[in-house]
Structure 1
Amino acid sequence: MQITPGVDRKTRILEAVVELLAERGYPGATFARIVETAGLSSTRLITYHYDTKQELVAAALRHIGARAQQFMVPAIEAESSARGKLAAYLRSNLRFLAERPAYARAAVEIARNLPRESTGADLGEDVPVVLLAQLFVAGQEAGELRRFDPVVMAVTVRAAVDAAVDRFARDDGMDLAAYAEELCAIFDRAIAVRPASGDPGTALR
């Protein structure tokens, strides 16, 4: 990963953390190495923003999430149906990671080493799960989706994505685009209203 010149100091620090987590793991992401990777003059420039390594790594995870959101939202918003939005969510999520494998490896490394309560999530609430559940509720109310528990489905979608990320972090030669298409087919069949004929229908392509 290249740290882009001209970006603000906090972003340089967080990108350096991501790079080191991906390449050296959690123990290797030391303040000294972060200083070197980010092109800083002193560790004091890190502690000015973050008191502890745990706080710094939690900020790096939020940084990854923000970058993913910037990448994914246009694709999701371009779709008008709940089924289309879910497919766009899956495809854009895995495409984002395929194009930025260091982010995938860093996210997995953080998940393995940082307590969940330290990530700064809203009181432990999984925001992607909440948003997916809201999408499913809207689709059900519009008559587009069959009746199912929106939270259970949202948790299942997130678990499938997380499993893909974990596998990709161990093998970045994995075809995430093909994996995404399989997930689209599986979940489209799981959420779509069944035709009266009993034909399960076809997944969005």
Structure 2
Amino acid sequence: MQPNPGSSELTFTEAARRKQIVAAAIETIAELGYAKASFVQIAKRAGLSSPGLISYHFANKDDLIEQVVAEIYGAGGAVITMHNEGAVSAWQGLRGYLEGSVAYYDSHRTYMRALVHILQGHPDALGRWVGANNVAELDAVEELLVRGQRAGEFREFDTRTVALIIRQMLSGTLQHLLTRPDVDLTDYTHELVAMCEHALVAPEGKTND
């Protein structure tokens, strides 16, 4: 018998244990890779007496990975939301998204390594768990660009194309961070934001900074 993660009957203890297992799974995948992150290894890292305790809370590895991906994207959304507090203009919202994304990559490197390993190790990860999140994020960026154009903040351009370019730049930032763990992202973030501002803001536009 397994608890239903969406059920109101999930007890505080069960919810805490699920969270503990997800955290251990992220750390294990980040360190060992997807294929080697067995229930045995995850249970060991979580301090559980038996891998069977994971099976009580999750039907199988895919069920666990789904929750891992949800945790990774949920945590990222929380960081970006924090960086967007007080944003009024479209540019302020976009700047908050850029700064928040890089800050999240930097502060959650284990999460990012785990996500990369999942995408590399699970043949259906993109289609089942990651793709929809990426599309939703891309849509949100495009909405900011459309709003900025309508308000006269941004010059005219194809908003979907530019949203894709912004996402690709952030993907490059993540790759740079993971391959150069000693990199200082302060100047990197500053220049990324400045480059986007100069590229997107209309000559007569106001960023309201």
User: What band does the TM-score fall into relative to the shorter chain?
Assistant: 0.7 to 0.9
TM-score (norm 1): 0.83
Pick aligned residue for 1:24 from 32, 43, 46: 32
Q: Which residue of 2 aligns with 1:154?
A: 163
Residue by residue over 1:137-180, the C-alpha shift from the partner in whole angstroms, topping out at 9 and shown as x without a partner, is 11111111111111111111111111211221222112223222
Cα distance in structure 1, aligned partners of 2:128 and 2:54: 18
The yes-or-no answer on 1:194 pairing with 2:203 is yes
Q: Please state how far the C-alpha of 1:120 moved relative to its aligned partner.
A: 5.9
2:184 aligns with one of 175, 187, 199: 175
Opposite residue 26 of structure 1, the aligned amino acid is: Y
Equivalent residue for 1:165, pick from 161, 167, 174: 174
Alignment match of 1:118 (pick from 120, 128, 147)? 128
- Tell me the equivalent position of 2:3: none
Q: Post-superposition shift, 1:40?
A: 2.2
CA shift, 1:34, in A, is: 0.7
2:171 alignment partner AA: D
| Structure 2 gap segments, 5+ residues each | 1-12
Distance in 1 of aligned mates of 2:163 and 2:149? 13
Cα offsets for 1:2-51 (capped at 9, x unmatched)? xxxx8711111111111112211222311101111112233233223433
Contact 1:188 1:204 (8 Å CA) reproduced: no
Q: Give the aligned partner of residue 101 of structure 1.
A: 109
Q: Distance in 2 between matches of 1:37 and 1:70?
A: 26
Matched residues in 1 for 2:111 and 2:134: separation? Answer: 22
Q: 2:147 aligns with which of 131, 134, 138?
A: 138
Secondary structure at the residue paired with 1:94? Answer: helix
TM-score, normalized by length of structure 2? 0.82
Match of 1:39 among 47, 54, 76: 47
Structure 1 residues 164, 106: closer, same or farther in 2, change over 3 A?
Answer: same
Shift of residue 52 of structure 1?
Answer: 3.1
Distance in structure 2 (CA, Å) of the matches to 1:183 and 1:111: 26
CA contact (8 A) 1:185 1:204 kept: no
AA of the residue aligned to 2:44: E
Cα pair distance change 1:117/1:152, threshold 3 Å: same
The amino acid that maps onto 2:93 is K
Secondary structure of the structure 2 residue equivalent to 1:41 = coil
Q: How many residues align?
A: 194
- CA shift digits 1:95-119 (9 cap, x unpaired): 1221222122112222222331121
Q: Distance in 1 between matches of 2:85 and 2:150?
A: 19
- Is the Cα–Cα contact under 8 Å of residues 59 and 119 in structure 1 kept in the other structure? no
Are 1:21 and 1:106, in contact at CA under 8 Å, matched by a contact in 2?
yes
> Which blocks of at least 5 consecutive residues in structure 1 are unaligned?
1-5
Percent identity of equivalent pairs: 27
